[in-house]
């Protein structure tokens, strides 16, 4: 159930026993999609839901660091925690909690378990949609690689916002992840069109199928959910001239282009831009990204 006084906060409800009804037709515009996601429950990965129940049984031995390690590995749970803590801070003075661990420290362990009950799972939402589930899990795996690349780049650049940059890269494709949960047939339609014509750009297909740019949906939801200002700003690709934003975009792009191997035709351009970001030669930059990838 949603917290009644906090419309738009990601709900923390018990698992529904009702079968999931997916969207088979796109909503007409961005405003419609925003309203839809502001009033729907968000699932988490099955392993996250199971692990939370194990920790719930020994709550007195759990601290914010233990919870953060679990939450930080699940983009859906990350969204829920950041949005819930943001709802607590609305109309209150104070510094925004910019990372999952700071959000959990601010919330406290007991209130976390009190407000986040047994979580619905992605696997339940996509029961009967094995291809969509497989594609979603692959997308989440790619998000982990993007976060890893982003962290490596940020550390090399001595950026002071490493944790937020990592979070921005990890959540970059969360709008697409949500579409897999709620409109899997439409997402698989995009995949089918890409297989038929690999030259088609993902963003163009998403606009064609969903009537919106998913980047716009991501930024709008982050604002409505009250995500930290720094995280929202670093996630906004329209400001690619900023080094932290560029850090995120290049990490996401590299993860996408190397998802199936290191022979993508776009990779030389990626390496060239990464070299510029890191103030290194392309040869050094290539070796650096290989090293990062091998350490995953």
Interval 183-228: pLDDT, tens:
999 999 999 999 999 888 889 999 999 999 999 999 999 999 999 9
- Res. 16: pLDDT tops 80: no
Distances in whole angstroms, Cα of residue 165 to Cα of each of 35, 244, 246 = 28, 7, 10
**The token pair that represents 286 in the structure block:** 């290539």
Confidence (pLDDT) at 233: 95
With cut-offs at 50, 70 and 90, classify the pLDDT of residue 111.
Answer: very high
Residue 12, pLDDT > 60, answer no
pLDDT at 94 over 90: no
Does pLDDT of 109 surpass 90? yes
The pLDDT score that the predictor gives to residue 198 is: 86
124-144 burial, b for 16+ CB within 10 Å, e for fewer? bbbeebeebbebbeebbebbe
Summary mean pLDDT of the chain: 91
Measured in whole angstroms, how far is the alpha carbon of residue 50 from the centre of its chain?
Answer: 20
- 44 by DSSP, 3-state: which? strand
Reported as a pLDDT band with limits 50, 70 and 90, residue 92 is low
Residue 4 sits at φ, ψ, to 5 deg, of -55, -40
Determine the pLDDT at residue 96: 61
CA 31 centroid distance within chain: 20
Q: What residue ranges define each of the domains in the chain, with the CATH number in brackets? A: 129-294 (1.10.3210.10)
Taking residues 142-149, report their average pLDDT: 98
Question: How many C-beta neighbours within 10 Å does residue 113 have?
Answer: 16
Nearest C-alpha neighbor of 217 from the set 18, 38, 22: 38
Question: Any alpha helices (H) in 59-201, and if so which ranges?
Answer: 64-71, 75-89, 100-107, 109-115, 122-125, 130-156, 162-170, 174-182, 184-196
CB 234 within 8 A of CB 244: yes
Which residues face 44 on adjacent strands?
121
pLDDT at 13: 45
Q: Model-level pTM? A: 0.91
Residue 10 in tokens:
């990601």
- The radius of gyration computed from the CA coordinates of the chain, to the nearest angstrom, equals 19
Per residue in 247-286, pLDDT (tens digit) is: 999 999 999 999 999 999 999 999 999 999 999 999 999 9
The DSSP H or E segment spanning 159 is none
Name every residue whose Cβ is closer than 8 Å to that of residue 117 and which is 6 or more positions away in sequence: 12, 13, 14
């Amino acid at each position: 159930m949603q917290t009644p006084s906090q419309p738009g906060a990601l709900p923390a409800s018990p698992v529904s026993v009702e079968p999931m009804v997916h969207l088979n037709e796109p909503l007409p515009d961005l405003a419609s999609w925003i309203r839809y996601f502001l009033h729907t429950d968000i699932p988490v990965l099955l392993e996250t839901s199971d692990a939370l129940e194990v920790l719930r049984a020994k709550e007195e031995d759990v601290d914010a660091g233990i919870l953060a390690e679990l939450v930080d590995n699940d983009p859906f749970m990350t969204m829920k925690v950041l949005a819930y803590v943001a709802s607590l801070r609305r109309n209150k003075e104070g510094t925004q909690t910019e990372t999952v661990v700071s959000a959990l420290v601010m919330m406290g362990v007991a209130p976390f378990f009190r407000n986040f009950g047994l979580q619905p799972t992605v696997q339940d939402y996509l029961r009967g949609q094995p291809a969509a589930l497989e594609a979603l899990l692959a997308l989440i795996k790619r998000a982990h690689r993007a976060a890893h690349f982003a962290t490596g780049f940020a550390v090399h650049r001595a950026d002071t916002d490493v944790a937020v940059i990592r979070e921005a890269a990890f959540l970059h494709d969360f709008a697409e992840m949500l579409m897999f949960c709620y409109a899997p047939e439409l997402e698989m339609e995009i995949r089918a069109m890409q297989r038929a014509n690999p030259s088609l750009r993902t963003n163009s297909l998403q606009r064609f199928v969903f009537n919106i740019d998913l980047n716009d949906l991501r930024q709008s939801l982050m604002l409505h959910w009250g995500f930290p200002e720094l995280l929202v700003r670093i996630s906004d690709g329209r400001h690619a001239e900023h080094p932290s934003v560029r850090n995120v975009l290049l990490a996401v792009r590299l993860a996408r282009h190397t998802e199936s191997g290191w022979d993508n035709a776009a990779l030389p351009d990626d390496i060239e831009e990464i070299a510029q970001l890191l103030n290194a030669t392309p040869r050094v930059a290539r070796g650096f990204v290989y090293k990062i990838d091998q350490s995953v």
